[in-house]
Amino acid sequence: MSDARYWASAAALEGILDRLAAERTLIGPVRRGGDVYFRPVQRAADLCRDYVNALEPPKRWFLPTPERLARYRLPGGVSVPGGDTPRELVFFGIRSCDVAGLAQLTRFFSGETVGRPDVADGPFMARRERTTILSVVCQDPAETCMCVCCKGGPALDAGYDWQLTALTSGWLIEVGSAKGRELTTRFASSLAPAGERQLAEQAGRIAGVVESFHRHSTRRVQSMAAGRMVSQGRLPEAFWSALGERCVECGGCAFVCPTCNCFNVVDAPEAGSGVLPPAGGPEPAVPGGPVATGAEGTFERIRLRDSCQLAGFVRQYGGSYPRATCGERCRTRFFHKLSWQFVARVGTLGCTGCGRCVQVCLGGIGIDAVSQRMTDALVGAPAAAPAAKGA
Amino acid sequence: MSTALAPADTAVNLTACPFCGSGCTLTLADAEAFPVLGDPVTRGALCLRGWSAGELLDSPLRVLSARMRIRGSPLAKAPLETALDHAASRLAAIRAKHGPASIGILASARLTLEELHLLAGLAHAIGTPHLDALQRLGTVPGPSLGLDAIALAQGILVVGTDLSVRHPQVHRRVLQALGRGVPVRFVGANAGPLATLATEWIRRLPGREVEAAVLAARPDDLVLWSSELALHGQGGPALRRLGGAHSWRLPDFVNQLGLQEAGIHPRAGGLAAYEMLQRAAAGQLKALLVFADDPFEFFPALAARAFQGAEFVLVTDAVATRAAEAADVVLPGSLLAEKAGTLLAADGSRRAIEVAHVARAGMSEGEVARRLAAALGGKAGPAPRAAAFAPGPDGAAPDAPTPDYPLIAALDGATLWSTHPLVGATVTARREVWGPRTDFPDGWVTIHPAAAKALGVRHGWTVRLESDCGGLLLAVRTDPHAAPGTALVPMHCWERAGTALGALEVDPCLRIPVFRPRAVRIGRQ
C-alpha cells in the first residue's frame, strides 16, 4: 500500500495533465460512439471521465503488432538503420486490472519470472521504462468485469506510479514508485496531503464496488476450485475436447488479455516488396518468405502478437503438432491462467479479471464460463457434463 | 513497420473487415486491428481473419507502385500515370480493332459499392456487356435477414455449412440460441463444432443437403445456408426450395451483396466471369481488366491460359497475386481500410466505412476505373441499371456411391480461406490456413481415419483418387471431422481434382463453376 497520499482538485489535476501532455505523449480514454479507446490526446479536456474499460488493452503500446525488430539487407546481412525511438508516454485512466497485467508482462519480459535478467526483452523494457502510469481506481465496472476474484482491482497496492481515485470533490492520489514521487515533487504546488475524510471516502467507494460486485454480478473467476482441478490434472480429456468444440480459434482471448505474452517473430521482405512465393514450390509460412539462399533486397524481422490457442503457433518444422487438437491447446491456456504451478512461478494468477476474453469470445468460453465448468466438475454438478450444449 | 512505433493518430476511425460477408466493423490502432464493442455485428468479437487485418497494411505483398511489361519483357516498375496511359491506349486500340465486346471486366467483392458502380460505369464507357465477378461464386439471389432473426428464431436449421469457418458471427449467435434452449438442427456431412453441439445432426452426403433440409424444415425454422450448397451444384434447388422468407443465404465475401446491388452479374449478351476466362483462353476475348481479385486462386490452369490468350491484361490490386505476376500492367490498389465508402453487410444494410489508415498506394481501384472510363471516352453519365439476374435451369444431380466407387468426392468448405489473396498477404491468418499446404504442397484428399484404416493407407501417403472419368495422385490427410464415405478436396485443388474426376462443371442456373459431387475410389499407390 502506498505510504504517500495526496489530494488534488479536478482543476489541479487537469493542469498537471496538460503540462504532461505538452512535454510527453499523454494517452487516455476518448469516446467514439458508445465505445472508449485509449488514444493520445493534446490536452486533458479531450479525455472522457465516465467510462467503463476499453476493449483494447494497454499492452498494445508496449507490444505493438506488427513491430519491426530489425532491418537488414541481403546479401551480406548488413543492418539497415531505421526504426523509432520509444517516446515518453504518460498513461492516464487505465484500470487496475490492466496495471496488474502490465506488471505481469514486465516480470515476464524483464526475465524476472525465469530469474534471467540477461534475457530481458529490449524493445518492451525500453517502452516500459519510458512510461508513466497514472491509473484510476475503477468505480464503473463493466458487466463482464471480475477483478475482485483475481486481486486485480478495483484498487491495487503496487504497479502504478500514481493511483488516482475520483472523489466527490477532486482526486485522491497514491504514490507507488520513484517515478511517482518525482511527479509529486514536481507538482507539489498543485497537491495537498490527503485528509482523513478523503481517505475514508476512498475506502467507502472501493468497498462499495466490491460489495456491488458480490451482490449483483453473476460472473466469477472461480480461481480456487478451478485452480485445484486444473493444477491436479483432474479434468478428463472429454472436458477439454468439449471446450475445443466451442473454440473457433480466433485468438481474440489472447490478443486482448492484459497478461498474455505469446508472440511470433518472422523474417520477411520489407513492406511493399510485392514478392510472390515461388510458384509450384512449398508454400512459405510468411508472404514472400522464407528468405531463400541468394535472396536480395531489404528484409525485416517483425514481431506479431500471437496466441497459444492457434494450431500454427504450436506447429513444429516438419509438420508435427505437439498440441494437435484445439482442446489440448485450451488445456494449456487455462493451465497458464489458473494453475497453482503458474502462480508459484509467476507470483499471481494469469488472469486479472478484466473480462475482455468474455467479451471477445465467439464460442462463449470466456474464463468465467470455463472456471464455472471446472468448479461444476469438482462438485459433480450436471452442468459439467462435457457434452453440455449452449452458452 | 514504423507506424507501429510511432502511434500519433488520435482519431478512432471505423472500417470493415475485408474478408467474409459478416460486415464486422473494426478499428485500426496504428496497424493493429480491434473489434468494436458497440458494433451490432461484432459486439466486440472478431475471427482470426479480422484480428489479422492490420497485418495487410505493411505486408510484403503490398503492391505500392505500378508495373508494366512491353512486348513480352519482364514486369518493370513504371510511373503510375505512364502505366495508366499505357493501359488506356492498349484498351482503345483493342476496342477499335475487335470491338467493345472483346474486353471483359472482372470485379470483386473487396470493393466498395461506389467503386462497383464505377466499374459498371467503365463497362458502359467501353461498351462491353462482359462484367462479372468470380467472387459471385455461390451467390444465390435471395432475401437478406439480420442477426436479430437468429435472436428471434424459434428453431434454426443450418444447411451444409460450417458456420464457425464461413460466418463466425452467425455461429456465435447460433450458439447463444442453443444456450437459450432454441432447437438447432444441422444438415451436413462433416463433423464440426455445430454438428457436435446441435440439438440434432442430420447427416447427409455432400450434394444431398438441400433435399434433406426441405424434408426437415419446420414452419417456424430459420434456415441458414451459404455458398457451399451452390458450389456443389445445388444452387438451383437451394434457390427454389430454400429461398423462402425464413431463409438466409449468408454471403461469403465482404461486399458480395454489393455485387448484386451494383448489377455485377452476367447481363444480357454478357459473359459470366468463368466464361470470360474460357473465352480469353480460346483467344476470343482480347482484353481482361481484373480488379482486386485473383482468378488463379481457384482456377490456376484456366487463368494462365486466359492471361496468355488475351492480348492485354490489366490487374489492379492492393496485394501481389499470381494474376498480377502474369499481367501486362499492374496498378496499385487500396485496402478497404484505406478507403471511405459503403458496403452491404450480410443483413443487406448499408455500412459506411471511413479511412482508417493513410493510403499506402496512390490510387484506389475505383479511381482507376474512373480514370480509364474518362480516357476511353465512351458515353457520359452513369451506367444504366442492369436487369436482375435471371437464374437458369438446374445442373446435373450429384453422384451416388456405387460398389466400384464407394466414396463421394466433394470440396472441403473448411479450406475456403486458404487461397484468398488477402489471407495470403497476412502472416498470422495465413499461417493458420496454409499449414496443410506447407505439409502437402502437391495437394491432398481428406478422409476419415476409419476409411484410411479400411483402405490400408496412412496419413501422408500418396494415393490415387479416381472416378469413372479419370484420376489424380494426392496425399492423404486423415481427419475425424471428415464424414465417413467422403473424400474431401481442398478448395485450391478444385480445378485440378475437378478436371481429373470430371467434377468441374458450369452450373446453368447460376453460371458459375461448381464441383459436382462425384463417386470415387481411392487406390494405394
CA distances to A114, A121, A131, A260, B180 from A118, in Å? 10, 9, 21, 21, 53
CA-based R_g, chain A, Å? 23
Residue B137, pLDDT score: 82
Q: Examine the domain organization and report whether B370 and B415 are in the same domain.
A: no
Distance from CA of A326 to the nearest CA of B (A): 11
Which range is least confidently modeled, A108-117, A135-144, B364-373, B384-393?
A: B384-393
CA A280, A281, A285, A290 torsion: positive or negative? Answer: negative
List chain A residues with CB under 8 Å of B6.
84, 87
A190/A343: higher pLDDT: A190
Distance from CA of A378 to the nearest CA of B (A): 22
Residue B144, pLDDT score: 81
**How many Å apart are CA B101 and CA B99, to the nearest integer?**
6
Structural contact between residues B109 and B133, judged by C-beta atoms closer than 8 angstroms: yes
Q: Do B61 and A282 touch (CB under 8 A)?
A: no
* Domain end among B232, B250, B268: B250
List chain A residues with CB under 8 Å of B425.
287
Q: In this predicted model, what pLDDT tens digit does every residue of A330-369 receive, in sequence order?
A: 999 999 999 999 888 888 899 999 999 999 999 999 999 9
Q: Do B37 and A283 touch (CB under 8 A)?
A: no
List chain A residues with CB under 8 Å of B432.
249, 310-312
Across the interface, of B5, B60, B432, the residue whose CB is closest to A275 is B60
Q: Which three cell numbers stand for residue B216?
A: 426437415
Residue of A nearest to B13 (CA): A32
Domains of chain A plus CATH, in order, are 4-68+82-216 (3.40.640), 221-251+309-391 (no CATH)
Name the range with the highest mean pLDDT among A70-74, A135-139, A214-218, A227-231. A135-139
**Cβ-count burial A144-159 (b if 16+ within 10 Å, e if not):** bbbbbbbbbbbbbeeb
Can you give the pTM of this predicted structure?
0.94
CA distances to B215, B231, B343, B433 from B191, in Å? 21, 19, 33, 18
Structural contact between residues A330 and A336, judged by C-beta atoms closer than 8 angstroms: no
Distance from CA of A360 to the nearest CA of B (A): 4
Instruction: Tell whether B176 is within 8 A of chain A (Cβ).
Output: yes
**How many Å apart are CA B1 and CA A138, to the nearest integer?**
34
Distance from CA of B300 to the nearest CA of A (A): 11
Structural contact between residues B291 and B265, judged by C-beta atoms closer than 8 angstroms: no
Residue A339, pLDDT score: 92
> Predicted confidence band at A385 (pLDDT cuts at 50, 70, 90)?
very low
Q: Examine the domain organization and report whether B245 and B263 are in the same domain.
A: no
Residue A387, pLDDT score: 40
Torsions phi, psi for A56 (to 5 deg): -70, 125
Residue B3, pLDDT score: 30
A256, A360, A365, A373: best mutation site toward chain B, by most B Cβ within 10 Å? A360
CA B113, B164, B221, A383 torsion: positive or negative? Answer: negative
Q: Examine the domain organization and report whether B264 and B121 are in the same domain.
A: yes
Q: Examine the domain organization and report whether B203 and B262 are in the same domain.
A: no
Which range is least confidently modeled, A24-28, A385-389, B106-110, B311-315?
A: A385-389
Q: Do B10 and A39 touch (CB under 8 A)?
A: yes
Q: Examine the domain organization and report whether B241 and B269 are in the same domain.
A: no
What is the maximum alpha-carbon separation in chain A? Answer: 75
pLDDT of residue A386 exceeding 70: no
Distance from CA of A257 to the nearest CA of B (A): 13
Residue B4, pLDDT score: 32
Q: Do B64 and A56 touch (CB under 8 A)?
A: no
Residue contacts between A and B (CB atoms, under 8 Å): 231
Instruction: Tell whether B311 is within 8 A of chain A (Cβ).
Output: no
**How many Å apart are CA B352 and CA B341, to the nearest integer?**
6
Average pLDDT over all residues of chain A: 89
List chain B residues with CB under 8 Å of A56.
27, 29, 34
Q: Is A111 exposed, middle or buried (0-12, 13-18, 19+ CB in 10 A)?
A: middle
* Domain end among B250, B282, B310: B250
Distance from CA of A366 to the nearest CA of B (A): 12
Q: In this predicted model, what pLDDT tens digit does every residue of A154-167 receive, in sequence order?
A: 999 999 999 999 99
Q: How many domains does chain B have?
A: 3
Residue of B nearest to A356 (CA): B44
Q: Examine the domain organization and report whether B435 and B460 are in the same domain.
A: yes
Q: Do A61 and B36 touch (CB under 8 A)?
A: no
Q: Examine the domain organization and report whether B370 and B243 are in the same domain.
A: no
Domain residues for the domain of B192 are: 147-250
Residue B285, pLDDT score: 98
**Cβ-count burial A52-85 (b if 16+ within 10 Å, e if not):** bbbbbbbbbbbbbbbbbbebbebeeeeeeeebee
Structural contact between residues B401 and B408, judged by C-beta atoms closer than 8 angstroms: yes
Interface of B with A in 261-280 (CB under 8 A): none
DSSP string over A140-185: S--TT--HHHHT--SS-SSS-SEEEEE-SSSEEEEE-SHHHHHHHH
Q: Do A362 and B45 touch (CB under 8 A)?
A: yes
Q: Do A285 and B434 touch (CB under 8 A)?
A: yes
List chain A residues with CB under 8 Å of B186.
none
Structural contact between residues B247 and B225, judged by C-beta atoms closer than 8 angstroms: yes
Structural contact between residues B206 and B413, judged by C-beta atoms closer than 8 angstroms: no
Q: Examine the domain organization and report whether B464 and B425 are in the same domain.
A: yes
Q: Do B175 and A252 touch (CB under 8 A)?
A: no
Using DSSP's 3-state secondary structure scheme, residue B45 falls into: coil
Could you tell me if residue B34 is inside a domain?
Answer: no
Could you tell me if residue B348 is inside a domain?
Answer: no
Q: Examine the domain organization and report whether B82 and B156 are in the same domain.
A: no
Strand residue runs (E) in B51-102: 66-68, 76-78
Residue B162, pLDDT score: 86
Could you tell me if residue B159 is inside a domain?
Answer: yes
What count of other Cβ atoms lies within 10 Å of the Cβ of residue A45?
9
List chain A residues with CB under 8 Å of B67.
274
Structural contact between residues B293 and B108, judged by C-beta atoms closer than 8 angstroms: yes
Which segments of chain B have a pLDDT < 70?
1-10, 378-381
Return the half-sphere exposure (C-beta side, CA atoms, 13 A cut-off) of residue A257: 29
Q: Examine the domain organization and report whether B121 and B266 are in the same domain.
A: yes
Q: In this predicted model, what pLDDT tens digit does every residue of A284-308 receive, in sequence order?
A: 666 666 555 566 788 888 999 999 9
Structural contact between residues B98 and B128, judged by C-beta atoms closer than 8 angstroms: no
Q: Do B47 and A41 touch (CB under 8 A)?
A: no
Residue B30, pLDDT score: 84
List chain A residues with CB under 8 Å of B4.
64-68
Question: Residue B475 maps to which CATH number?
Answer: 2.40.40.20
Could you tell me if residue B13 is inside a domain?
Answer: no
pLDDT of residue A380 exceeding 90: no
Residue of B nearest to A60 (CA): B32
**How many Å apart are CA B317 and CA B62, to the nearest integer?**
9
List chain B residues with CB under 8 Å of A240.
none
Structural contact between residues B138 and B201, judged by C-beta atoms closer than 8 angstroms: no
Across the interface, of B38, B176, B193, the residue whose CB is closest to A35 is B38
Question: Residue B325 maps to which CATH number?
Answer: 3.40.50.740
Amino acid code (one letter) for B46? L
Q: Give the H or E element holding residue B297.
A: none
* Cα angle, residue B512 at apex, residues B100 and B441 outer, rounded to 5°: 110
* Cα angle, residue A60 at apex, residues A224 and B2 outer, rounded to 5°: 160
What count of other Cβ atoms lies within 10 Å of the Cβ of residue A389?
17
Alpha helix segments (H runs only) across B407-487: 421-424, 428-439, 449-455
Could you tell me if residue B49 is inside a domain?
Answer: no
A240, A245, A283: best mutation site toward chain B, by most B Cβ within 10 Å? A283
Residue B343, pLDDT score: 96
**How many Å apart are CA B75 and CA B325, to the nearest integer?**
8
pLDDT of residue A45 exceeding 50: yes
Interface of B with A in 107-166 (CB under 8 A): 164
Residue A282, pLDDT score: 54
User: Crossing angle, helix A122-129 and helix A96-109, to 10 degrees?
Assistant: 140
Could you tell me if residue B180 is inside a domain?
Answer: yes
List chain A residues with CB under 8 Å of B171.
248, 362
Q: Examine the domain organization and report whether B273 and B302 are in the same domain.
A: yes
Q: Give the H or E element holding residue B17.
A: none
Could you tell me if residue B39 is inside a domain?
Answer: no
Across the interface, of A65, A255, A284, the residue whose CB is closest to B4 is A65
Residue A130, pLDDT score: 96
**Cβ-count burial A91-106 (b if 16+ within 10 Å, e if not):** bbbbbbbbbbbbbbbb
Could you tell me if residue B197 is inside a domain?
Answer: yes
Q: Do B10 and A30 touch (CB under 8 A)?
A: yes
Question: Residue B184 maps to which CATH number?
Answer: 3.40.228.10
* Cα angle, residue A112 at apex, residues A106 and A116 outer, rounded to 5°: 130
Instruction: Tell whether B430 is within 8 A of chain A (Cβ).
Output: yes
Q: What is the ipTM of this complex?
A: 0.93
Residue B377, pLDDT score: 82
Across the interface, of A33, A281, A311, the residue whose CB is closest to B435 is A311
Q: Examine the domain organization and report whether B241 and B305 are in the same domain.
A: no
